[in-house]
Chains A and B, each alone.
Chain A
Amino acid sequence: MLHAAVLLPFLAAFFIPFIYRGVKQVHLGWFVLAVPILLFGYFLTFIKNVLQGVHTLKTFEWIPSLGVNVTLYIDGLGLFFALLITGIGSLVVLYSIYYLNKAEKLGHFYVYLLLFMGAMLGVVLSDNLFVLYTFWELTSISSFLLIGYWYQREKSTAGALKSMVITVFGGLAMLGGFLLMSDLTGTTSIRGIIENADLIVESPLFSFILILVLLGAFTKSAQFPFHTWLPDAMEAPTPVSAFLHSATMVKAGIYLVARLSLVFAGTDLFFLIVSGFGLLTLCWGSYMAVRKTDLKAILAYSTISQLGMIMAMLGFGTKAAILAAVFHILNHATFKGSLFMVAGIVDHETGTRDIRRLGGLFTFMPITATLAFFGAFSMAGFPLPIFNGFLSKEMFFEASLFKHSSPIVESVAPFFPYLAVGGSIFTFIYSVMLFFRTFTGKQRDTLEKQPHEAPIGMLISPMILVALVVIIAIVPDVFGKSLLAPMVDSITGKAVDPHIKFWHGINNTALYMSLAVLVFGTILYLTRTKWEKVYDILPGKMSAAKVFDAFMNGLETGSKKVTNRYMTGSLRHYLVYILTFSVVLLAVSMSVTGGFNLSTDDLAPIAVPEVMIAVVMAVAAFGTIFMNNRIAAILVLGIVGYGLSLLFVFFRAPDLALTQLIVETVTVALFLLCFYHLPDLNKEKTPSRTKVVNWVISISVGVIVTLIGIASHSTKMFEPISEYFIKNSYKLGGGDNIVNVILVDFRGLDTLLEILVLGLAAIGIFTMIKLRPNKKGGNE
């Protein structure tokens, strides 16, 4: 049943194209809508079990021999994310029905979306590391497809590519970490790994594993400096941005860190990296968001900064911090989802998302404006008990004041509350700016359309989300007890008091921090034109997007340069590489293994005629080099061949001598035949440096060959097999000529194939001479 639930989106995705083609009258989204609603209802039934501490575990054997089985596991953490995915998923599908025109390629859109939904459910419910990784990459791929949905636009494809490169880079690093973890613990199950956490923490590879796994989480969750793909992913249709890039996919990294907290948390390195980068992301994201003028870009940077905040709290690792983190995950999903939908509505109804061209929309779109008001002020953490964002921000401040446990933590932790407040001030500025610059002020007449209120269907989803914002704020305990407590339990391994207070009492640091944010935020918002120039200095040329672009360009041009440098297309260069490499390899291995030795024991006596022939051959061989006349060169080459056949005579090889004689004659004849058509040898004007290189290489090849010859002659390792041929040539082969018996009898296969070679060469020569391309490009 549980497996069927995860499989359902994939199955539905399979049938979508058929429905799309078959049913034209009804918007495809209505059929899709059933899937997440059904799943949401199904996952709701697990709440009771989880509250009682009953966790569901179902296994489907996939590759048992490798320990890779599709094991699904539902505990508080998994269930929460499953509800988030299916719940927001339902709302997003509903919204997309009104957002996307029927003229769009709806079939593609919903297939990708369902694939993503299934993959995301797989990520949060898998208990097996490698199944989790599989689904993880599937979310990267479906996100890639969704960002590039309008593939005719250059920006969409560029954004899709960037997100793919970054998330897959992190995914692969994570796979490395997973492999090490499963190798150390001997299990592929996440629960098994948590049980054996000591083995990982005490292993010398611990920091390596931690960094690899966190690379995966950080790239997916858009943490500094990997956040740069998220703003570019805003080229996707708005429902996608709302679903993937605010509520679900970007929380996969958060999920992973939370899931593996029981393994890593408590170590200083985990604390430093996760909290440090989380806070850095919080500040940088909110700082950058203020500068943006595109609604979705502001929301993208705000997502980055909020994710950083959640990550930082997971890094603190105290119970209060974890509770605040999971509470903020819930809150962020509600208000950020609604804000994206609002941005989509504004875009849809006015034709632009640029806040410099927007303004005064309140009168035209009162409902949308109200929704935006709740979303934005909740995001800002405005201190009123109707905004859930305020509650979680307050808890965040409180968590940042945690007690210090180790010297390293103690040395850096005091700075954290200041960073938290700093980031929150900018969060306040852009949230307020988002609302006021869009919905209040003067109305511009540059808009393409006359703005008007959105259709009611489009407003339902953000309304539900905003209703949740308020409900959560008013009765936080209901959600705390049912959803958050089991989740904190899964993350920390301990039960926690889920009570969420609105009022901390007057004498409370967190409250003063909130007030400071409010005061400084308001002041900075009102004076923003005076300090906006700061942005020309600090991001300037240093933004992560520019670094990424420079890196990718550098990679491309760099590898092109390197390749062009050695792949010159010159035969001589390639020969130089091959020969140099061979010589060096042979020389090194010979000297390293002490392979050279010289023994004069078993040498044949030196005979004068043979030595004379050898001298003639050597002279002739070098003669070919210095001949400037082609006919002379060919004849001198002939001398070498005939000399060789004479040597064969002396070395008791009559068949060889015969063959060599004939072949040499034919070759020389062939050379002479071709010779009329070949150009004359010209004196090459080679630079002397090239000449020296050529000589050095050829001489070292010759020396190596000589050395190998001497060494192998001096090393006798075993008797040759030849006695067998000599004994059995007549007995088995029925012939006196042993060489011939070997050729056609003992080793006849060689001869068969050698005949084939000769035949092929003949056919090749025939074709080369006969078949010529005619002017039309065909053959005559």
Chain B
Amino acid sequence: MEIIMSVLAGLLFTAGVYMMLQKQILKIVIGTALLSHGAHLFIITMGKLNRGNPPILTEDVTKYADPLPQALILTSIVISFGVTSFLLVLAYRAYQTNGTDNMEKLRGNEHE
């Protein structure tokens, strides 16, 4: 299972990176979202999958899934959510101010 999930994480990375290499800001934002999904999947896969119950203490259960990666991912999800929404609004404002969403046209003046 872990190998399949590693492959899936790799595919998410591939798609994310490809989107980030595009010119439109919206595509780049989608790319970062895909990349963070891939990273989260990667972390949970590394913590080993399906070894016991959900990490909530119950009577008579001794085997639990690793709780630490879950805590890390939880933190990461929130942060990437914050960053993604910020990026999204930034893209919106940049488009409003500059009248273009093409990154190649948004270079500094000295590169004209």
What is A's interface to B at a CB cutoff of 8 Å?
568-572, 575-576, 579, 600, 602-607, 610-611, 614, 617-618, 621-622, 624-625, 630, 633-634, 637, 640-641, 644, 647-648, 650-656, 659-660, 663, 666-667, 670-671, 674, 677-679, 681-682, 684, 686, 694-695, 697-699, 701-706, 709-710, 712-713, 720-722, 725-726, 729-730, 736-739, 742-743, 747, 750-751, 754, 757-758, 760-762, 764-765, 768-769
Contacts and interface: CB of A to CB of B under 8 A. Distances in A.
Interface in B35-71: 37-38, 40-42, 44-58, 64-68, 70-71
Interface string B5-31: 111111111111111111110111010
B111 A701 contact: no
Contacts, number: 274
Contacts of A603: 1-3
Interface of B: 1-24, 26-28, 30, 33-34, 37-38, 40-42, 44-58, 64-68, 70-71, 73-75, 77-79, 81-86, 88-93, 95-96, 101, 103-104, 107-108, 110-111
A659 B77 contact: yes
Contacts of A570: 103-104, 107, 111
Given A647-B41, A652-B54, A677-B96, A618 B11 contact: yes
Contacts of B84: 667
A621 B78 CA distance: 21
B50 to A, nearest CB: 4
Contact of B66 (A611, A667, A722, A760): A722
Nearest to A699: B14
B77 A653 contact: no
A591 B52 CA distance: 35
Nearest to B44: A651
Contacts of B6: 705-706, 709-710, 713
11 contacts: A603-B2, A618-B8, A677-B96, A698-B18, A701-B14, A720-B66, A726-B57, A742-B68, A747-B71, A761-B86, A769-B89
B13 A702 contact: yes
Contacts of B49: 604, 651
Contact of B55 (A674, A726, A764): A726
B67 A681 contact: no
Given A726-B67, A738-B56, 9 more contacts: A604-B49, A617-B12, A622-B11, A652-B50, A684-B22, A703-B10, A720-B47, A721-B68, A739-B70
Contact of A637 (B13, B34, B42): B34
Contacts of B82: 757-758, 760-762
A697 B17 contact: yes
A695 B18 contact: yes
Contacts of A697: 17, 21
B14 A702 contact: yes
A710 B86 CA distance: 33
Interface pairs A-B: 3 shortest CB-CB: A702-B14, A709-B6, A706-B10
B92 to A, nearest CB: 5
B93 A769 contact: yes
Contact of A681 (B10, B27, B53): B27
B34 to A, nearest CB: 6
B74 A738 contact: no
A702 B56 contact: no
Given A572-B21, A640-B34, A765-B89, A655 B74 contact: yes
B65 to A, nearest CB: 4
B53 to A, nearest CB: 6
